[in-house]
Amino acid sequence: MKRKEFNDALVARIPRYESFDGVFNFNDSQQTSHFTRSLEAARKKVYNTPYRKFKYRDYIPLTKGGGLGIGSIITEVYNEVGKAKVIAGSGTDIPKVGITQTEGATPVRLIAAAWNMTMQELAIARTAGKNISTRKASMASTANHAELNDVAWFGNEESGLGGFLDGPAESFATGANAAARIWLNADGSANKTPVEILNDINQAITQVVDESDETFMPDTVLLPTKQYNYIATTPISVDNSQTILSWLISTSPFLNGAESVGSLPELNGVFDDGGQGIDGMVVYEKNEEYVTMHIPQDILTLPPIQKDLAFDNIVMCSTAGVEWVAPESARIIKGI
């Protein structure tokens, strides 16, 4: 916008006042006071950029504690071996049972963001009554959350950190080909019936239950945004106003309430099918014994460090990423 256009736009926003002589009188104390108050109100109206909610803390069990002094996470996994059997009366062939142990180490990495403010900026902000330092600190905290969220879902291969989507086995949704598998067409119309969609979800849960001999019971379903919104708003049939989502939750023996099914934007087009990004869903048992994200040090703001006429402020945390102790407790279904 050119300066003249800006000035015209500014004038257009100023309320029109008329005095007794038909023109605006800047010497009129009442009008001048009103005009000044309007400008002050305009100055103090602040718009903060909205950020989307990071959902890793909602859907992934967290293991926290230990602080910045933790350099690696050691995980010990114990498996029971052997079984009892029918024996002869003399009892000379009693089988032995035992325990095997495996141990793994995951490195802990630091995540940090910093913000800087000069003494002059602090003075100007104080004079203007603006809490800029709080906003900058909030930005640094949000940056830490954003990176933790990325690590939580996708890991960080360079740093040796695993992500939630790295662990479970993958399979395709029901359908003869890619076009037959998807739930929704590009225009948002349905490609599968409510019954077929329910079958995809229930079949994924049943696969985990059956293949583990009922050791694992998936109690959580994560869906891409479009698919979640569709099942949350679409009736099960023309004769039944109950939505697909409501029907799923009320009939599944494994899901417990509305919080057991959620939307996750990270599932939009994230899976590969011959070089093409496709949507997918995850079913899993939300149990920290099976999957957890290690955050030894949660987000922490360090004391300001003065450098000449400025202050550096560091916000940091540490993580070892997501660890799947039992990836068999989950399943990724691609191509929905």
- Per-residue pLDDT, 133: 66
- Per-residue pLDDT, 25: 43
- 34: CB partners within 8 A, 6+ apart: 17
Element spanning 116, H or E = strand 109-118
The CATH number fitting domain 58-78+103-160+292-324, selected from 3.30.2350.10, 3.30.2400.30, 2.60.120.620, 3.40.47.10:
3.30.2400.30
- 264: CB partners within 8 A, 6+ apart: 55, 59, 153, 222, 223, 224, 225, 282
How does residue 11 score in pLDDT terms, banded at 50, 70 and 90? very low
DSSP SS3 for 47 = coil
pLDDT tens digits for 289-313? Answer: 999 999 999 999 888 888 888 888 8
The answer to whether 279 and 308 are in contact (CB under 8 A) is no
- Per-residue pLDDT, 50: 61
87: pLDDT strictly greater than 80 = no
Q: Where are the domains of the chain?
A: 58-78+103-160+292-324, 173-289+329-334
282: pLDDT strictly greater than 80 = yes
Mean pLDDT, all residues of the chain: 83
Fold equal for 58-78+103-160+292-324 and 173-289+329-334: no
How does residue 91 score in pLDDT terms, banded at 50, 70 and 90? low
Q: Which fold has domain 173-289+329-334?
A: hypothetical protein PF0899 fold (3.30.2320)
State whether the Cα torsion 219-222-223-225 is positive or negative: positive
pLDDT tens digits for 237-256? Answer: 988 989 999 999 999 999 99
% of the chain exceeding 70 in pLDDT:
82
Token representation of residue 166: 């790295």
pTM: 0.77
Token representation of residue 331: 């399943």
State whether the Cα torsion 281-284-287-292 is positive or negative: negative
% of the chain exceeding 90 in pLDDT:
54
